[in-house]
Chain A
Amino acid sequence: MSGNGLSYSEQGGEAAPELGQEAATTTTPSIPAAFGLFCSDIKKNEDLKQMLESSKDSAKLDAMKRIVGMVAKGKNASELFPAVVKNVASKNIEIKKLVYVYLMRYAEEQQDLALLSISTFQRALKDPNQLIRASALRVLSSIRVPIIVPIMMLAIKEASSDLSPYVRKNAAHAIQKLYSLDPEQKEMLIEVIEKLLKDRSTLVAGSVVMAFEEVCPERIDLIHKNYRKLCNLLVDVEEWGQVVIIHMLTRYARTQFVSPWKVSFSLEDNFCEKNFYESDEEQKEKDQKVKDTYTMDPDHRLLLQNTKPLLQSRNAAVVMAVSQLYWHLAPKSEAGIVSKSLVRLLRSNREVQYIVLQNIATMSIQRKGMFEPYLKSFYVRSTDPTMIKTLKLEILTNLANEANISTLLREFQTYVKSQDKQFAAATIQAIGRCATNITEVTDTCLNGLVCLLSNKDEIVVAESVVVIKKLLQTQPAHHGEIIKHMAKLLDNITVPVARASILWLIGEYCERVPKIAPDVLRKTAKSFTNEDDLVKLQILNLGAKLYLTNSKQTKLLTQYVLNLGKYDQSYDIRDRTRFIRQLIVPNEKSGALSKYAKKIFLAQKPAPLLESPFKDRDHFQLGTLSHTLNTQATGYLELSDWPEVAPDPSVRNVEIAESAKEWTGILGKPKKEKPTEKFYSESEEEEDESAGTNSSGRYLESNLHLRCLENCIFRTDHYFKRIGKISVPTKTHELLHRMSGKGLAAHYHFSRQPGIFGDRMVSVQVTVTNTTDHKIENIHIEEKKLPSGMRMHEFSPIECLEPAGSVTVSVGIDFCDSTQMASFQLCTKDDCFNVSIQPPVGELLLPVTMSEKDFKKEQGMLTGMNETSTAIPVAPQNSTRLVVIEKLVKAANLGVVPSGQDNIHRFAAKTVHSGSLVLVTVELKESSTAQLVINTEKTVIGSVLLRELKPVLSQG
């Protein structure tokens, strides 16, 4: 707004620019009348602003609705940004949503102000409701402000391991957004993609493959391990995801499997309509024959098998995607099954028809048999739009053969008479193509075309002439009659192309019509000046040819024409005239060339090929934008050729056995079905079950989803196995001094035993000693004052402790990953003593083992805010590897990561409660210092741990 104020105050020549917003209001009245338009605009926006600042939600909502209306119409509403952005935290959902809409539209233009809203989203990212987390991520990632890239990266990483598949889906979408905002994040994003590709949820699959295609389509290696899973999930993915996955898998399969075509080549000949009525058994038989030489990779078969049901989808894009997959990947004998579905799509909207017909046109050139049984489905209706008509015609022409040509020609006769002249002309071309392709009907076609020469419509006649010319050229033997007929037509035809064609024909075959040719030249010489350029050139041509063959009759005429041409307005014609004159009229200057003039002009010319315009499209993948446009679109990914030798198929093997065992242990029940078996593939037995009870197949599936979730929760477990060997610190801490405990003393130490009482508990060993001279009875724990979230597992009461006796018991405490004290009362039969246990941060960890590579990878994901580091002094005696490890492991419960470098020591652990990774790196430097780096999401733990580990290496 201040910008506005500035510009207008200059106009008004008063109020200082610094007045900003106020200036706008004060100067408004003084704006000259010419600014009336803007003036009212400002006023309008003023009242919007007031409404936005009102305390009533209804006024705010009204204002937001009007603003969105402006945005929708494409009017500029950016000056309202500050007023709108204030409402980002509104309690009213609709206001909030509309603010989001506004924000996404204008954040790019108002980057500084947009930052004000970021904290709201950051807060929402932690919301317990998954839908709120998801929508926060969605909006945050849609704000195209480069400064927030690190925040987005962090949010994406976090969301990618969210428990809710819906949030993970949104994380996959956010990857693309971040990539387009800052391509330099590619490497880190690929890691997230890699992680999400492993996801088993059908919700995520489509979105992450989309992200993969956008960010790193070249990293085909990421797909190997997920290939089978994607194939199996495919039927249950939502339709849009299916399209993307199928296209990606097509590309993948072309790099990984060998061609199924080479061997089936011999079969291609008898591959015909028969195919469509074949049952599956027959097809299998056929496969058997092929199998002698070629065995299809089971993974290749899996893909074909799992995509086949999708041909039945209601979504045209899915059907097309499967069709192209079969076209590019299936053995030629199997590709036929797609034609029926493609033909079905022709009932759909005009636009769908257009694309499908284009693809059928390309297919029908290469494999006629596929669509022959559906010939009649391509018959043209008078109500079709012209572009659909011409495409259908194209396909009909491609499908024409000896058997059906007579039916087709009858059909074409109707089309030629169509009121749509453009289409009629296309039909004539089609007839021409049929005539050249099928020799039996050439004469019939030619006669038919000659009949059309007497048509009333000029366009039809012209097109016929052009096509006849081409046809005659292919077999000039005995068509003198037709040429004579056409020469007669010359008087009536005015379309330049047709006239030019006739002239060319007469010139070319002037020796067959010796009497007519000179007369034609005479007539055209008369009208030369009024002709079109195209015709003029052909008149010159005709003249030249006649001059060479029949100079007696035509010498003068030709020279007359050449003189006319010499002074023509068009330089093309003047140029041609000069050229021809030099060539045919002998004079001293003309060189050797004129001797060969006759040979040059009357050489045997190759006949033009009448080809389909779809001939060259097959090098584009079917169903793509590039195929439709017949040029390579930006971002088109070439389909590679089949490899000669298949790459190692074992890369796709996934070890599920081990992890499966682990799940069953966790779930406490044996797995009934494979996790990949889904809705459409459910077995009969389950079906019966679902019919009988009131559950359905879908419920079974939801169990599966639950399992997937659990899988995610426990994933960290089987990624990083906990370490077996643990060094236990000997240090004990005092819990209760004997003086304050009336003779009862208690000590505790951390046993580092992994969760005896539960996964999230730290086990503490408490040693209770009786220093009195009488028995102490019933020692137990009471009145736990634990901070919220903490839990404690008590020891069972000690009934009796003899004098000077001591007992060691175990307690489990869930510290919730904080260093807060756990306070409770240690009671005897008579007294109660307040005691508390404060854990050193090093004991809140559980060691994990991982490889150096995994470590680096995880570390790469925990940078930025998640990293703390410091330089620490190192005593000289502590610089050997063994000592460093010993000291650190003693100070904190860390697992040692094997390291390739002598001076770098790595340790990994996870927090007991939440299982967040804690990575510790010690890099020894010269002059007895070292760099200590800690990476963890739990920044508090990280910094406390750093503080605690600091002195460890400096002490002797």
Chain B
Amino acid sequence: MIHSLFLINCSGDIFLEKHWKSVVSQSVCDYFFEAQEKAIDVENVPPVISTPHHYLISIYRDKIFFVSVIQSEVPPLFVIEFLHRVADTFQDYFGECSETAIKDNVVIVYELLEEMLDNGFPLATESNILKELIKPPTILRSVVNSITGSSNVGDTLPTGQLSNIPWRRAGVKYTNNEAYFDVVEEIDAIIDKSGSTVFAEIQGVIDSCIKLSGMPDLSLSFMNPRLLDDVSFHPCIRFKRWESERVLSFIPPDGNFRLISYRVSSQNLVAIPVYVKHMISFKENSSSGRFDVTIGPKQNMGKTVESVVMTVHMPKAVLNMNLTATQGSYTFDPVTKVLTWDVGKITPQKLPNLKGLVNLQSGAPKPEENPSLNIQFKIQQLAISGLKVNRLDMYGEKYKPFKGVKYITKAGKFQVRT
């Protein structure tokens, strides 16, 4: 299926190539460069490109293009999903998925790619299995390796691949047995000019960090499972049990993983925790405009709204901005025309405000559309949908684990039109 993979950085250098079948020349990437040029913006490079003899399917992650070469019909999502899985694995191994990290660990990268794909068909993509096959680099290990000459290839052969629970490695042992669950909810919303909600919904995930010895069998139940409208599961979850009892029953992988992601049914009204008052105007036939934005809390259930950041893509005609912030600091990048205002915490007594003048390119026509404001925020200790974990039970092991649940609400794609 997947013939070859090329990793290309933003300046167009192919810095890694891997072939799973016969070798495909680098020149095939020229078609990709052509498309990239046409697209102007990296975001707009089409993920699927057809060339006379091959098809190129690419993803763009962390300033790297992963370009795979395909020779015949294949579901494009199959390849895209796999490439993202590759990038996730790099992230997992090296802490970041950057060009330098990959170049520094080129041998491990190669070993990983070799294990993940056989003849273009995915073989081992579970991080638990991969980590048994190839140990991730740590400073300590690399020092030890260089002294003792031992290697980072696991000398025990992984058993996970053969078991029925491929996501969990065998023989896990911890002195402190812990299980943490983070319920993270994101609010996606579009707010129109007048402040009314055009569209809002809540997307949530439960990320887990499980460090439990042996083969624990967990079941997690909710106070109000009916809230979850559409759920997607990690393969470890027993689907039947959820269908019948609305309980998440599973043998967890070892370490960090995403247990479920869900959407809260759209019938429920979504509480929008912040409001924005804005006054942005550009004067006709003059090279200046006014900018005045205030952010305030709303329906936040007694919790503080934290880490508020506002980013605005200003129109091209804007040369510079001369603003004063009552709270936090702002930056304006005159090249990308992005205004970023790092507000911090919102206190209802003194609402943060950003006000001032906008300098426009003289002679250019007045921008007809006001830019939309993208807001980010965070609320600790609150799941905005009201979802609550009821209890976590463990079967199959004797010890008593330490259990913890954390709730966070964040802004997802939160956009205010002006």
Contact = CB atoms under 8 A, between A and B. Distances in A.
Do A and B interact?
yes
Interface of A: 56-58, 61, 65, 68-69, 71-74, 92-94, 97-98, 100-101, 105, 108, 129-132, 138, 141-142, 144, 164-166, 170, 173-174, 176-177, 180, 202-203, 207, 210, 235-236, 238-240, 243, 247, 309, 312-317, 319-321, 340-341, 343-344, 347, 349-352, 354-356, 376-377, 379, 381-383, 385-387, 411, 414, 417-419, 455-457, 623-626, 628-629, 631, 633-637, 679-682, 684, 687, 690-691, 694-698, 701-702, 705
B176 interface: no
B265 to A, nearest CB: 10
Contacts of B73: 624-626, 633-637
B206 to A, nearest CB: 12
B37 interface: no
A316 B121 contact: no
B318 to A, nearest CB: 11
25 contacts: A58-B149, A69-B107, A73-B16, A74-B26, A141-B119, A142-B119, A164-B162, A173-B123, A207-B121, A240-B82, A240-B121, A309-B239, A341-B230, A343-B230, A349-B61, A352-B77, A352-B80, A385-B44, A456-B368, A623-B77, A625-B48, A633-B72, A634-B73, A635-B71, A636-B73
Interface stretch (B110-118, B295-303, B403-411): B110-118
A238 B55 CA distance: 26
A41 B364 CA distance: 57
Name the interface size band of chain B.
35 or more
Nearest to B260: A314
Interface stretch (B150-158, B271-279, B326-334): B150-158
Contacts of A350: 43, 47, 60
Contacts of A94: 151-153
Nearest to B111: A97
Contacts of B366: 456
Interface stretch (B17-25, B343-351, B379-387): B17-25
> Nearest 10 CB-CB pairs, A to B?
A635-B72, A94-B151, A58-B149, A385-B43, A417-B369, A94-B153, A317-B77, A351-B47, A240-B122, A376-B199
Nearest to B233: A312
Given A73-B16, A74-B14, A625-B74, A379 B47 contact: no
Interface centre among B43, B158, B188, B397 (most CB of A within 10 A): B43
Interface string B73-107: 11111101110100000000000000000000011
Nearest to A238: B166
A409 to B, nearest CB: 14
B290 to A, nearest CB: 19
B198 interface: yes
Contacts of A65: 107
B315 interface: yes
A57 B241 CA distance: 52
Contact of A239 (B72, B192, B235, B258): B235
Nearest to A682: B240
B233 A313 contact: yes
B220 interface: no
Interface in B173-220: 188, 190, 192, 198-199, 201, 203, 215, 217
B47 A354 contact: yes
A312 B238 contact: no
Contacts of A108: 22-23
Interface string B232-261: 111100111101100001010000001001
A694 B19 contact: no
A240 B59 contact: no
B141 interface: no
Contacts of B372: 381-382
Contacts of B50: 629, 631, 633
B415 interface: yes
A170 B60 contact: no
Interface string B5-44: 0000000001111110111001000000000000001011
Contacts of B229: 340
B161 interface: yes
B76 A376 contact: no
Classify the interface of chain A: helix, strand, loop or mixed. Answer: helix
Given A73-B15, A105-B23, A317 B241 contact: no
Contacts of B172: none
Given A58-B149, A309-B239, A314 B110 contact: no
Contacts of A684: 244
Given A73-B17, A623-B75, 19 more contacts: A61-B151, A72-B109, A94-B152, A94-B153, A98-B111, A202-B164, A243-B75, A350-B60, A376-B199, A411-B198, A417-B369, A456-B368, A625-B70, A636-B72, A681-B240, A684-B244, A696-B215, A701-B164, A702-B164
B137 interface: no
Contact of A173 (B14, B119, B217): B119
B356 interface: no
Contacts of B417: 382, 414
Given A349-B59, A382-B415, A97 B261 contact: no
B41 to A, nearest CB: 7
Contacts of A317: 75, 77-78, 80-82
Nearest to B146: A58
A387 B158 CA distance: 43
A180 B71 CA distance: 12
Contact of B84 (A144, A349, A623, A629): A349
A26 B26 CA distance: 34
A316 B43 contact: no
A172 to B, nearest CB: 9
A238 B48 CA distance: 25
A93 B121 contact: no
A72 B80 contact: no
Contacts of A238: 122, 166
Contacts of A382: 313, 371-372, 415, 417
B413 interface: yes
Contact of B190 (A69, A379, A455): A379
B406 to A, nearest CB: 21
A355 B77 contact: yes
A314 B206 CA distance: 13
B355 interface: no
Contacts of A386: 41, 43-44
A636 B111 CA distance: 32
B309 to A, nearest CB: 14
B142 to A, nearest CB: 12
Contacts of A315: 81
A239 B372 CA distance: 39
B259 to A, nearest CB: 10
A695 B396 contact: yes
B163 interface: yes
A633 B50 CA distance: 9
Contacts of A321: 75
A807 B140 CA distance: 76
Contacts of A377: 199, 201
B316 interface: yes
Contacts of A247: 75
Nearest to A236: B164
A634 B118 contact: no
B231 interface: yes
B125 interface: yes
B77 A320 contact: yes
A166 B17 contact: no
B263 interface: yes
A576 B121 CA distance: 57
A493 to B, nearest CB: 15
A710 B122 CA distance: 28
Contacts of A626: 73
